Amino acid sequence: MTMPSTTWMGLVLKFLATTDSMNFLKKTAANSSPIVIFGASVIGKIILDSLEILNVQPACFCDNDIQKQRDLFNGYEVIPFEKLCADYSDAFIIIAAGRYFDEIQRQLLNAGFENIFCDIDVLSCINFKKTEYSKLQKITWHLAKSGKLSEILDLPGDSLHIPRLNVVLTSRCTLRCEHCSSLIPHYKKQYDFDTLSIIASLDKIFTCTNLIYHVELLGGELFLDKDFPRIAEHLINTGKILHIDVITNGTIVPPDSMLEILKHDNVGVVIDDYGELSKKTETLSNSLQRLGIDFRVNKHWAWADLGGFDSRNLSEKQLAKMFARCNFNSCTELLDGKLHRCPRSSHGTETGLVPEYSEDFIDINKFSPNNKSLKEKLRSFFYDKKFIRACNHCNGNTSDSLTLTPAEQQTQR
Ligand SMILES: C[S@@+](CC[C@H](N)C(=O)[O-])C[C@H]1O[C@@H](n2cnc3c(N)ncnc32)[C@H](O)[C@@H]1O
Ligand code: SF4
Ligand code: SF4
């Protein structure tokens, strides 16, 4: 089995060097065992699309989440683990499960499954030169993450690719989640960031970037910012972004006239469903469906406890270890013209809870448009950083810190 793509920063390219990348297809062709995708999720859908390109059909999906077992997923049954063990003990399992990969792999090995694969094992079987781009388009974002995109697109050698960019529109929000990773309840005064200034910073970044794989537009609650359609339109028109997600907490349904711009192949709305708190999830889903806008409802099972802001007195070696382990380490975020590596760094600096470490961020405001040095500065920021000093004020988002109930509201103080 090859490295799953979820550990992609720096590590993922390793898979290109593996010699047994055709193993998955060869093994399944030589064996009539059924194929089961473990994880009825975004990655699960990408695996399904990849298998379709390979003309391989899975038997079903498996998922540990009882809620997901209730409905069909893209037309396939979602079975519980017990049924997988009882009815599919000889199956080829493809794990499609982001940060839960290790946990599921352990679960499968303990139950005696031998043929376990990951997303990259499947992607590696696709002959990109011989496959029409229209078929590959659905999985482009995943291909980009796994370093395979240059095999199908003609990109210049000195290209700058940005894997992920969060664009923060507002610190206003309809909820006050005690452990919000964006520290929204810590803002003394909440405000929308200036739209023209956001657009100016984005343009400076786009000028020296060839491709951005994944952009998230978010707040706070971005639907409170009436300018969100304008920024979304600007991003769509760059033509340089593979996928844009608009993140909302399911408490607001904007009018159709504001949502319409989101009807685009590369755009999706993610509704974070915090149960009772996300009162408008259903109404919003209905609006998006009616308008033909791609969306998904995202349930959260645990949030990370990033801890307080005091210094942990970590050495540079310890900071690097913390940074490497943290799931937020590539959630690069543009906030008020400054580009940070994670929300703790951006919102922490903005609220004054984390000291302003100048080496932790790039102040895009200080660069004139077309400034040639920005490209190399960005390249080094995205690809060479071993840690940020903000990690000294944080416990990180790791499997150990995922201990909190999501979206618990602050009690009045
Ligand atoms: C800060 S929110 C902003 C968007 C919107 N207000 C929402 O909650 O969906 C962005 C994402 O961070 C996640 N998040 C917030 N606090 C978190 C934490 N402590 N651990 C893990 N994820 C967290 C939220 O679930 C959401 O998906
Ligand atoms: S996590 Fe909660 S407080 Fe933070 S931005 Fe989202 S809804 Fe608002
Ligand atoms: S450990 Fe570092 S990278 Fe992770 S959230 Fe904290 S400050 Fe950000």
Q: Is the pLDDT of residue 189 over 50?
A: yes
Collapsed DSSP state (helix, strand, coil) of residue 31: coil
Ligand with the closest atom to the CA of 171 = 2
Q: Is the pLDDT of residue 364 over 50?
A: yes
pLDDT tier, 152 (very low <50, low <70, confident <90, very high otherwise):
low
CB 6 within 8 A of CB 88: no
Which is it for strands 35-38 and 362-363: parallel, antiparallel or unpaired? unpaired
pLDDT tier, 22 (very low <50, low <70, confident <90, very high otherwise):
low
Name which residue sits closest to atom 1 of ligand 3, judged by CA: 396
Q: Whole-number mean pLDDT of the chain?
A: 90
In 3-state terms the chain splits into helix, strand, coil percentages (rounded to 5) of 40, 15, 40
Token pair, residue 118, equals 């990951």
pLDDT tier, 163 (very low <50, low <70, confident <90, very high otherwise):
confident
Ligand 2 site, residue 184, Cβ cutoff 6 A: yes
Ligand 2 site, residue 171, Cβ cutoff 6 A: no
Convert the pLDDT of each residue in 247-287 to its tens digit. Answer: 999 999 999 999 999 999 889 999 999 999 999 999 999 99
Phi first, then psi: give them for residue 195, nearest 5 degrees: -60, -45
Rounded to the nearest angstrom, the distance between the alpha carbon of 181 and the centre of ligand 1 is 6
7's CB contacts (< 8 A; 6+ apart) are none
Q: Which helix H or strand E contains 134, and what residues bound it?
A: helix 133-136
Out of 61-70, 111-120, 128-137, least confident range: 128-137
pLDDT at position 213: 87
Rounded to the nearest angstrom, the distance between the alpha carbon of 390 and the centre of ligand 3 is 7
pLDDT at position 13: 32
pLDDT at position 24: 81
Rounded to the nearest angstrom, the distance between the alpha carbon of 177 and the centre of ligand 3 is 19
Q: Is the pLDDT of residue 11 over 50?
A: no
Name which residue sits closest to atom 7 of ligand 2, judged by CA: 175
Name which residue sits closest to atom 3 of ligand 3, judged by CA: 329
Ligand 2 site, residue 120, Cβ cutoff 6 A: no
Q: Pick the residue with more confidence: 400 or 361?
A: 361
**Per-residue DSSP letters for 308-374?**
-SS-----HHHHHHHHHH-TTTT--EEETTEEESSHHHHHHHHHTSS---GGG-EEGGGSPTT-THH
Amino acid at 40: A
Ligand 3 site, residue 319, Cβ cutoff 6 A: no
- Give the atom of ligand 3 at the shortest distance from the alpha carbon of 396: 1
Q: Find the mean pLDDT for residues 48-52.
A: 93
Buried b (16+ CB within 10 A) or exposed e, 267-292: bbbbbbbbeebbbbbeebbebbeeee
- H-state helical runs in 31-79: 42-53, 66-69
CB 268 within 8 A of CB 218: no
Q: Is the pLDDT of residue 86 over 90?
A: yes
CB 219 within 8 A of CB 166: no
CATH 3.40.50.720 fits 5-142, yes or no: yes
Out of 25-29, 266-270, 338-342, least confident range: 25-29
pLDDT tier, 131 (very low <50, low <70, confident <90, very high otherwise):
confident
Return residue ranges of the chain for CATH 3.40.50.720.
5-142
CB 227 within 8 A of CB 254: no
Rounded to the nearest angstrom, the distance between the alpha carbon of 59 and the centre of ligand 1 is 34
Among 169, 272, 398, the mutation site with the greatest number of ligand 1 atoms within 8 A of its Cβ is: 272
Which is it for strands 362-363 and 338-340: parallel, antiparallel or unpaired? antiparallel
Name which residue sits closest to atom 6 of ligand 2, judged by CA: 220
**How many of the other CB atoms lie within 10 Å of CB of 140?**
20
% of the chain residues with pLDDT over 90:
71
CB 36 within 8 A of CB 84: yes
Collapsed DSSP state (helix, strand, coil) of residue 37: strand
Beta bridge partners of 242: none
Among 323, 330, 331, 402, the mutation site with the greatest number of ligand 3 atoms within 8 A of its Cβ is: 323
Residue with tokens 């909190």: 404
Q: Is the pLDDT of residue 155 over 80?
A: no
Rounded to the nearest angstrom, the distance between the alpha carbon of 122 and the centre of ligand 3 is 31
Q: Pick the residue with more confidence: 107 or 301?
A: 107
CB 322 within 8 A of CB 298: no
Q: Find the mean pLDDT for residues 57-66.
A: 94
Out of 4-8, 39-43, 93-97, least confident range: 4-8
Q: Is the pLDDT of residue 3 over 50?
A: no
Helix axes 195-207, 373-383, angle to 10 degrees: 90
Cα atoms in the Cβ-side hemisphere of radius 13 Å centred on 253: 13
Convert the pLDDT of each residue in 193-233 to its tens digit. Answer: 999 999 999 999 999 998 898 899 999 999 999 999 999 99
What whole-number distance in Å separates Cα of residue 150 and Cα of residue 13? 12
Rounded to the nearest angstrom, the distance between the alpha carbon of 229 and the centre of ligand 2 is 20
Ligand with the closest atom to the CA of 361 = 3
Q: Find the mean pLDDT for residues 108-131.
A: 89
Burial of 64 (0-12, 13-18, 19+ CB in 10 A): middle
Phi first, then psi: give them for residue 364, nearest 5 degrees: -65, -30
**Ligand 1 neighbours (beta carbon < 6 A):** 173, 179-182, 218-221, 247-249, 272, 300, 303-304, 397
pLDDT at position 25: 82
Among 218, 350, 399, the mutation site with the greatest number of ligand 1 atoms within 8 A of its Cβ is: 218
% of the chain residues with pLDDT over 70:
93
Q: Pick the residue with more confidence: 29 or 109?
A: 109
Rounded to the nearest angstrom, the distance between the alpha carbon of 132 and the centre of ligand 2 is 41
pLDDT at position 14: 33
pLDDT tier, 97 (very low <50, low <70, confident <90, very high otherwise):
confident
Q: Is the pLDDT of residue 113 over 70?
A: yes
Among 173, 272, 273, 284, the mutation site with the greatest number of ligand 2 atoms within 8 A of its Cβ is: 173
CB 96 within 8 A of CB 108: no
pLDDT at position 144: 77
Name which residue sits closest to atom 2 of ligand 3, judged by CA: 391
Token pair, residue 167, equals 């664009």
CATH 3.20.20 fits 155-404, yes or no: yes
pLDDT at position 5: 44
Return residue ranges of the chain for CATH 3.20.20.
155-404
The DSSP 8-state label assigned to residue 256 in this structure reads H
Residue with tokens 């995205």: 382
Burial of 101 (0-12, 13-18, 19+ CB in 10 A): buried
Ligand 3 site, residue 344, Cβ cutoff 6 A: yes
Burial of 102 (0-12, 13-18, 19+ CB in 10 A): middle
